[in-house]
Amino acid sequence: MRAASVALAVMSVITGCLGPAGTQFRTSLPEPGVVKPFPIVLGDETGLVVRVEPGPIDPSARIELTVREDPTNPSAIIAIWLGGAIDDEAALSFRRVLSGYALSLDVHRGFGSSTGEGIYRSLRIVTTEPVSVESITVSGGR
């Protein structure tokens, strides 16, 4: 019984390190005043995502994840949130749900303390067809 518990715990850690489920798309966001860019992985379980890339900075970003239509591409959405200085990376998951789609954000934080200064984060998610932002339920954030 103990061996099964240990094996389950090890599998949980390994699965968590692999990133979100589905086809993974990776990019990095430039960080103002920082040498190392901010890595992001999006796990697509819908089969709709073509690519992800840094999106336009939106100063109206809140701590919670929100989505906006991309005014330059009807087959893209912009995911925005306000990050922190000690964030190491972010993982997003895009999947189908009964009401449409779900986009969730999990931010991994490093050690240290933050000055409380927010960093605007923006990710453009390009899809094979237009996806209405009203059909997406979002969750997660700082």
Mean pLDDT, 10 residues at a time, over the chain (142 residues)? 40 50 92 77 97 90 88 96 85 96 90 65 96 95 66
Q: Alpha-carbon distance 85 to 36, whole Å?
A: 12
Beta bridge partners of 87: 109
Are the C-beta atoms of 106 and 81 separated by less than 8 Å? no
Question: For residue 14, what pLDDT is reported?
Answer: 39
Element (H, E) at 67: strand 66-69
Give the angle subtended at the CA of 120 by the CAs of 27 and 21, to the nearest 5°: 40
Is 11 inside any structural domain?
A: no
Q: What is the pLDDT of residue 63?
A: 76
Q: Tell me which residue range forms the domain holding 59.
A: 20-140
Provide the pLDDT for residue 4: 39
Would residue 6 count as lying in a domain? no
127 within domain boundaries: yes
Number of domains composing the chain? 1
**Is-contact 89 41, C-beta < 8 A?**
yes
| Contact status, residue 79 vs residue 127, Cβ threshold 8 Å | no
Domain assignment present for residue 12? The answer is no
13 in a domain, yes or no? no
Tell me whether residue 113 is in a domain. yes
Is 99 part of a structural domain of the chain?
Answer: yes
Residue 4 lies in a domain: no
From CA 92, how far away is CA 64, in angstroms rounded? 13
Residue whose entry in the numeric block shows the structure tokens 């893209």: 76
pLDDT at 17: 52
- Give pLDDT, residue 64: 85
